[in-house]
A and B are shown apart, each in its own frame.
Chain A
Amino acid sequence: MKKLLILTTALTGVAFAAQADVTVMSWGGAYGAAQTEAHVKPFAAKTGIATIMVDSDNPATPLKAMVEAGNVTIDVASVEYADAIRLCDEGVLEPIDVAALPAGADGVAAADDFLPGAVTDCGVSTDIWANIFAYDTTKITGTVPTTVADFFDLEKFPGKRGLKKGAKAVLEFALMGDGVAPADVYATLGTPEGLDKAFAKLDTIKSEVVWWEAGAQPPQLLADGEVVMTTAYNGRIFNAAVGEGKPFAIVWDGQIFENEMYVVPKGAPNKDAAMQFIQFATSTEGLQAQAMQISYGPARKSANATEILYKDGKTVMGPNLPTAPENMKNALETSSSFWVDKDAELNERFNAWLATN
């Protein structure tokens, strides 16, 4: 199903791209919809530049393929932090000039307004999102899971678990589930013993795991009753719970957060308009507009200065964002340098572990 979706979206993307001035590629589902409402439509309305959104399971993959094949059909892509760094190193992305980014609503220059690390050589943060785990409150009653260790406790909470199919965020999650403090996670994961420990922890639930790949799958798995709890991107669960009224609850303990970056591929058909789009989307208002659509935190201080309401007009976003202090008690920031370096090696090991019993 996933591949079919990629194929069809890629095809429709190509078909539409021919008529649009700026083509933005993002992750589809609730997230893609949020960026469409907050950035794509207002940008087109304000500037008159025809702008469209296309979907992908992970925009970094088609982006790299497009640049290598010399046939770039997108102008802006929304990619994970580590991918933004890696692709930048590989010369696949256009450099971003931080001085050209608009100052915050309070007049503070962009370089000072953005949170540390939110602007890199080739990317600008569109939000801070998190890997969390969630459960269905109608299925788990009485004692509810509150810690990341509970996710791995099959005796206390029997039933299937949903996990992302890939090494990133899963290995960190397993170590934290094993009691490793967030500050020690990457140091531990960097040693062979630490890595074995992570896999040993995953071994304890392997037989009960349902693996997901696209961000839209975990809320579906929960809703279908295929799993009792699952890791997910926090915004997807929030939109299912608050937006669609599903009985889902998020456990923030052990959350793994990172910046999501807007980047421009080298050879983008409309580079100037793409830069204009990024400047618009990552302004204080642009970031706030996105946070009104989905519970991912803005990466500008000025955008966090005022209270943001969800699009329903009553839910206050603050406590639902990964950056809320009460959600940050036991949180880990993804180490991009760790994953840029070890992505290939650890995925190899992960795949070997997954395919063999």
Chain B
Amino acid sequence: MSQITTNGDLTTSDGRPLKAALAAAQFRAKRRAFFLVAPLLLFIIVSFILPIGQMLHRSVFHDGFAANAPDVKAWFAVNPDGTAPDEAAYAALAQDFKAMKADKTAGIAGTRVNYTLPETRSLITATARVADDLAPPYKDAFLALNPKWGDAAVWQAMRSASSAYTADFYLISTDRERAADGTIQKVPENTRIYIYLFVKTFLLSAVITVICFFLAFPVAHLLATLPTARANLMMILVLLPFWTSLLVRTTSWIVLLQGQGVVNDVLIALGIVGDDGRLKMMYNQAGTIIVMTHVLLPFMILPLYSVMKTIPPSYARAARSLGATSWTTFRRIYLPQTLPGIGAGALLVFILAVGYYITPALVGGADGQLISNFIDFHMDKSNWSLAAALSAMLLGGVLVLYWLYDRLVGIDNLKLG
């Protein structure tokens, strides 16, 4: 029951303004809706947002040296970049080493500096072991222990490590390092690897996506146009491998393709290749491409199929009856209508391929490894910050591609089913 008050506002029967009452009622509904989605929201925050935030944080944070060398850190703070270390600097360092020895933290501190400048880890741990014998004048004491303590590059590395927040891991991830004078330069040619791996990961993923497209398109078309009974049978053939464990499929490919495998044995039995000419299809890049294409194929077939199913055959028939050739009909009528499916399938396959880990690890051998395998390698080696930096760059790369896709094709045009 609403009434109109003297000043023209709507109120409810109990005299409250209608607007406020409505807002209150809607608030309750919204709150109920929020409680319904809260578990999912909480789940996403705990299992997705927080870990990613943590990973991003770790990629720029490592306090192994900063936390254990407070005195030399203080010296760096008051002396600008490029200052030659004086007696005060060495005295601060000696103080820190004595503390490190007592707390057994030289290993962690050394590990951190070693990430920035190789071969400094044992310099730091060895010095910490005899820290109690250090006496003034400290500079001479340090130089007597190891002449490397006079090296500007070592001090530059410590300066860089004395800040808990650092871009060093991103430098390493882009094959760069800090020179002794603090400028950024590329690492020697024979240790450059990450840029190459990123490019290779994205290229291989693109190749796999294209192969998947060419294999999936005819299959999806058949699925969408065959009579139901036969289409169902084919669908099962598509879905069966999709439901089979990834490891089972990958190891089956190993059995088929390895040097002493089924395919090579058949080729030899047929006399196509000789016994010493066995094809290398496993434990290399070819193996990675073949197996990943097979594993990811259903992700291309299914979106394509769901879109093709909805395209009425009458459009193509109309085009033909108006005089278009079969190629023109395909190119101008059929293909454009399947674009949402192509976009969805390509995006799915590509993003899955970029982050793929287990298949390249099993069948990639030496040259079929992708960036994810190196992220795993650094996690194994306990260099979590570098693993995090590489992961963050991979995440960034995928987001950029997603943004490009949105600009070029439009994310609204995506159709998964």
Contact = CB atoms under 8 A, between A and B. Distances in A.
A344 B374 CA distance: 13
Contacts of B369: 354-355
A347 B381 contact: yes
A112 interface: no
A355 B197 contact: yes
A160 B114 CA distance: 36
Contact of A340 (B105, B122, B283, B382): B122
A89 B107 contact: yes
A64 B378 CA distance: 13
- Chain B at the A interface: SS class: helix
A345 interface: yes
Given A61-B382, A340-B121, A344-B381, A352 B190 contact: yes
B125 interface: yes
B184 interface: no
Interface in B79-122: 103-108, 110-111, 114-115, 118-119, 121-122
Contacts, number: 93
Contacts of A90: 107-108, 111
Q: How large is the interface on B (under 10, 10 to 19, 20 to 34, 35 or more residues)?
A: 35 or more
A91 B110 CA distance: 12
B381 A356 contact: no
A224 interface: yes
Interface stretch (B328-336, B357-365, B392-400): B357-365
Interface in A35-71: 58, 61, 64-65, 68
Interface string B365-403: 111010000100100111100000000000000000000
Q: How large is the interface on A (under 10, 10 to 19, 20 to 34, 35 or more residues)?
A: 35 or more
Interface in B316-369: 358, 361-362, 365-367, 369
Given A1-B251, A91-B108, A351 B374 contact: yes
Contacts of B192: 352
A225 B260 contact: yes
A348 B125 contact: no
A223 to B, nearest CB: 11
Interface in A317-357: 337, 340-345, 347-349, 351-357
23 contacts: A1-B247, A2-B361, A2-B362, A3-B358, A65-B382, A86-B107, A87-B107, A89-B106, A160-B259, A226-B259, A337-B122, A340-B121, A344-B115, A347-B381, A348-B193, A349-B190, A351-B374, A354-B369, A355-B197, A355-B367, A356-B193, A356-B196, A356-B367
